[in-house]
Amino acid sequence: MTSGNRVQQFEAAIGKGKDASFEEFRREVRNAYMDRTRQVYFIWKKLKEIYPEVDADRVVREASWDFGVYQGRKIAAKAGRDDLGPTEVLLGQTSKGGMAVFDQEIMEVGDHRAIKIFHSCPHVDALKELGATPAEITHFCRDILSACDFGICQPFHNVEIQFPTTVADHTGHGCQMIITRRRPEDANA
């Protein structure tokens, strides 16, 4: 078999150039999220191993925050303004891929509050696969990776975000993302 034939067979096997079914799309996006989590987890673990004097939690949390702020600024740029309300911020950070992979359900949109539930989490699934303990998963999600979501809201002085429950809490509840409009006196703080 020639090199060209092997390449053609491989490309045919992966469906290169063909439209993906929704399930194929969901699977590939989920794998990409899980790979990102695995990479960040390995960086975090290696920082702790090689540089124990460095606060690995802080390094990765602040990098997650910066990534979130970057994403939030993209939402603001797309909207052409940074005075978005809860619904606009929640919908701005929601995508077809995210809805499919996290099994997201938008529960409420309004002028003062927007809520969505993540019924599953590829971050948690990746961490479980890597052998992380339940406590480590909770810590990694709540104290490190979630900084991204809080960072997304940073460019928008009108809103704040909270997660009363997460998949990583191991209570059987999904991640409940609540974005609320700040009171005017708090918006400038």
pTM of the predicted structure, to 2 decimals: 0.88
Query: Which is nearest to 47 in space by CA: 38, 37, 59, 62?
Result: 59
Quick check: is 16 in a domain? Answer: no
CATH number, residue 176: 3.30.1380.20
**Is residue 3, in this structure, part of any structural domain at all?**
no
Structure tokens at 25: 């799309």
Q: Is 5 part of any domain?
A: no
- Compute the distance between CA of residue 118 and CA of residue 152 in angstroms, rounded to an integer: 17
Domain-located, residue 141: yes
Residue with tokens 């005017």: 184
Q: How far is CA 30 from CA 99, 102, 117, in A?
A: 11, 8, 17
H/E stretch holding 63: helix 56-79
Q: In the chain, how many domains are there?
A: 1
**33 is a domain residue:** yes
> What are 30-63's pLDDT values in tens digits?
999 999 999 999 999 999 999 999 999 999 999 9
2, part of any domain: no
Separation CA 168–CA 164 (nearest Å) = 12
Helix/strand number for the chain, H first, E second: 9, 4
Q: Is 22 within a domain? A: no
Q: What is the pLDDT of residue 186?
A: 67
Per DSSP bridges, beta strands 113-118 and 175-181 are antiparallel
Which residues of the chain fall short of a pLDDT of 50?
Answer: none
- For 43, the domain range is 29-187
CB 168 within 8 A of CB 142: yes
Asked, for residue 134, whether it belongs to a domain, the answer is yes
pLDDT (0 to 100) of residue 4: 75
Q: pLDDT tens-digit profile of 127-143?
A: 999 999 999 999 999 99
Give the pLDDT confidence score for residue 70 in this predicted structure. Answer: 98
d(CA 135, CA 132): 8
